[in-house]
Structure 1
Amino acid sequence: MLVEIWSDIGCPWCFIGKRRFETALSRFEHASEVEVRWRSYQLDPSVPEHFDGTEVDYLSRVKGMDPAQVAGMLEHVTSQAAGEGLNYRFEDLVVANSFTAHRLIHLARESGGEETAAAVKEALLSAHFEKGLDIASHDVLAEIGSQSGLDPETVRSTLAGTDYAEAVEQDVAEARALGVNGVPFFVLDRRYGISGAQPAELFEQALAQAWEAGHQPLQPAAATAGASPDGASCSAEGCS
């Protein structure tokens, strides 16, 4: 069974959703027969490669959000992340465009398969939200690639060009064709779609449903499984 996950490295709920899905998958009896494929998505392609300021600065000054609202939102998401064993440090977060980092994930997949792509995805999310690293920096990306078994010089030379840019854009276009307008978004065997960082129990139910189901059109598994239809996610307008 194939599970495709559209997410953005700059999306705080995407890391939380990743952990919750992994918890569900670890409990799923057919987990060894599930292939997870990370797909690219950009919530805000207009983010500069480098922004001189904090996440609060960016969301309030550039996106026009109320600073108090932003602070409250980040406090809430930090608490939710802690519940999944994640240590978000928004005060150290480097606001950066994620496009090049998405290209690295595609390079990792072509070089080492889905496991390598997953390792790079994990490292990128941790670098961004927990370690205060600049995910637009080629030096940072080369180090992340190296830790996942990629040749750092190959990473540098690849990212210096435009390789895999089209692959990232195709992922985003496919998400739009599926009606995705927020992430994380999970597609199970092209039968069920789950929006948001739903509880692990919901993912468990959806995995079981998708395993048993025949070929059916994509439908909102979150609703059929009894979960909130507005699971926590991020869109171009912000995170909820």
Structure 2
Amino acid sequence: MVAGQRNTADGVNVDVSMKIEIWSDVACPWCFIGKRRFESALENFEHKDGVEVQWRSYQLDPSLPEQYDGSETEYLSQMKGMPEAQVRQMFDHVKTQAAGEGLAYDFDKVVVANSFTAHRFMHLAKEHGKMDAAKEALLSGHFEHGENIGDIDYLVRTGVVLGLDEAEVRGALEGDKYAAEVRADIAEARALGVTGVPFFVLDRKYGISGAQPAEVFAQALRQAWGERSPLTVLSGTNDDGATCGPEGCN
């Protein structure tokens, strides 16, 4: 178990008994859905005040340029070798699942861009205790509002909204600050055998792959609480446990 304390939003120290690491990419549609489902399970978990959540970086396509000159449909069609009509059908399924979690995806607005700078921004936000808020803002910006997650000006504006210093954010992103931290997260995911995201690691005991239903997360939280064992990937039986990998999203 992870020992120590953390500060809650109101400044009260609570014992941290379990750490949950979530590998995900800002450019992953199932990662936002998985975030909502996990949050639902955690909200109803009786030991939620003893849980520390940490976001870890992962890139589905590190080879992307800063911005792809084309639509999300065109990009996935090219990457997966699928007809555009089939890609749009896949989007419809994802949009339906997202809507079930209160998310309004608009794939026609999505700006296809490399997510590396966004991950560096996330690590900067972590230094200020704003990592979860940054993750929420970037996922919503990307999938619901058509923002360019590779654009430094957008990331700076987002940082200011979160209460970060504009000059600090711009200085970090215009340089290469936090690049090593992003690469370390990706390397650790590789070492753990992560091949798709979202991927949830509970106290380094259990791994959960995909945007599983809230009930699966709830069961895993109960099972992992107070237990010690080697990391075991828990397989869900529901088709909603979908992931995105280097070859695209399921």
Unaligned runs of 5+ in 2: 1-17
With structure 2 as the length reference, what TM-score do the two structures score?
0.90
Find the partner of 1:154 among 160, 168, 193. 168
Is 1:44 aligned with 2:84?
no
Find the partner of 2:142 among 113, 128, 133. 128
Is 1:209 aligned with 2:219?
no
- 1:167 match: 181
Structure with more helix by fraction: 1
- Contact 2:20 / 2:54 at 8 angstroms: preserved in 1? yes
Find the partner of 1:60 among 77, 81, 90. 77
Matched positions, count: 233
- 1:231 match: 241
Q: Which amino acid aligns with 2:159?
A: G
Is 1:198 aligned with 2:212?
yes
- 1:27 match: 44
- Contact 1:197 / 1:231 at 8 angstroms: preserved in 2? yes
Find the partner of 1:70 among 63, 73, 87. 87
- Contact 1:100 / 1:159 at 8 angstroms: preserved in 2? yes
Q: Sequence identity, in percent?
A: 62
With structure 1 as the length reference, what TM-score do the two structures score?
0.94
DSSP 3-state at the match of 1:212: coil
- Contact 1:193 / 1:220 at 8 angstroms: preserved in 2? yes
C-alpha displacement at 1:99, in angstroms? 0.2
DSSP 3-state at the match of 2:235: helix
C-alpha displacement at 1:72, in angstroms? 0.8
DSSP 3-state at the match of 2:49: helix
- Contact 1:222 / 1:229 at 8 angstroms: preserved in 2? no
Cα distance in structure 2, aligned partners of 1:67 and 1:15: 23
- 1:189 match: 203
RMSD: 1.3
- Contact 2:213 / 2:238 at 8 angstroms: preserved in 1? no
Structure 1, residues 174-225: CA drift from partner, whole Å, max 9, x if none?
Answer: 0000000000000000000000000000000000001031x210002335xx
Q: Which amino acid aligns with 1:220?
A: V
- 1:145 match: 159
C-alpha displacement at 1:63, in angstroms? 4.5
C-alpha displacement at 1:235, in angstroms? 0.7
Structure 1, residues 40-66: CA drift from partner, whole Å, max 9, x if none?
Answer: 000100111112221001112354322
C-alpha displacement at 1:152, in angstroms? 1.5
- Which stretch of the first structure deviates more once superposed, 45-54 or 63-72? 63-72
Structure 1, residues 74-126: CA drift from partner, whole Å, max 9, x if none?
Answer: 1110110000000000001111100000000001111x12xx01100100000
DSSP 3-state at the match of 2:159: helix
Q: What does 1:68-107 align with in structure 2 at a 5 Å threshold?
A: 68-107=85-124
Q: Which amino acid aligns with 2:199?
A: F
DSSP 3-state at the match of 1:139: helix
